[in-house]
Amino acid sequence: MALEVVILAAGQGKRMRSDLPKVLHRLAGRPLLAHVIAAARALKPAKIHVVHGHGGEAVKAAFTGERIEWVEQARQLGTGHALQQALPKVSRAATVLVLNGDVPMVSADTLRKLVRASGKGLAIATSELSDPAGYGRVVRDARGRVQRIVEHRDARPKELAIREWYAGFLAGHASRLAGWLAKVANRNAQKEYYLTDVIGIAAGSGAQVTAIKASETWEVAGVNSRHELAILERAFQNAQSRRLLDAGVALADLWRVDVRGELECGTDVFIDVNCVFEGRVKLGDGVRVGPNCVLRNVSVATGTEVHAFSLLEDAEVGARCRIGPYARLRPGAKLARDVHIGNFVEVKASRIGAGSKANHLSYIGDAEIGARVNVGAGTITCNYDGVAKHRTVIEDDCFIGSDATLVAPVRIARGSYIGAGSTISKDTPAGQLTVARAKQVSLPGWKPKRKA
Residues lying near ligand UD1 in the complex (CB under 6 A) are found at: 8-11, 51, 73, 76-79, 81-82, 100-103, 135-136, 149, 151, 165-168, 194-196, 222, 224
Question: Taking CB within 5 to 8 Å according to partner kind, which of Ca ion, ligand UD1, none is near residue 16?
Answer: none
Question: Taking CB within 5 to 8 Å according to partner kind, which of Ca ion, ligand UD1, none is near residue 82?
Answer: ligand UD1
Residue 78 or 284 with smaller CB distance to ligand UD1: 78
Question: Taking CB within 5 to 8 Å according to partner kind, which of ligand UD1, Ca ion, none is near residue 289?
Answer: none
Count the residues in the chain. Answer: 452
Among residues 81, 152, 360, 390, the one annotated as catalytic is 360
Residue 25 or 357 with smaller CB distance to Ca ion: 25
Residue 124 or 283 with smaller CB distance to ligand UD1: 124
Residue numbers 199-258 binding Ca ion by CB under 5 A: 222, 224
Distance in Å, CB of 342 to ligand UD1, minimum: 49
Distance in Å, CB of 57 to Ca ion, minimum: 22
Omega of the bond prior to 45 within 30 degrees of 0, cis?
no
- Which residue has the CB atom at the shortest distance from Ca ion? 222
Does residue 360 have an active-site annotation? yes
Distance in Å, CB of 224 to Ca ion, minimum: 5
Question: Taking CB within 5 to 8 Å according to partner kind, which of Ca ion, ligand UD1, none is near residue 79?
Answer: ligand UD1
Distance in Å, CB of 214 to ligand UD1, minimum: 11
102 touching Ca ion, by CB under 5 A: yes
Distance in Å, CB of 129 to ligand UD1, minimum: 11
- Rounded Cα gap, residues 433 and 303, in angstroms: 35
Count of positions on this chain that bind Ca ion (CB under 5 A): 3
Residues marked as catalytic: 360
**Binding residues for Ca ion (CB under 5 A):** 102, 222, 224
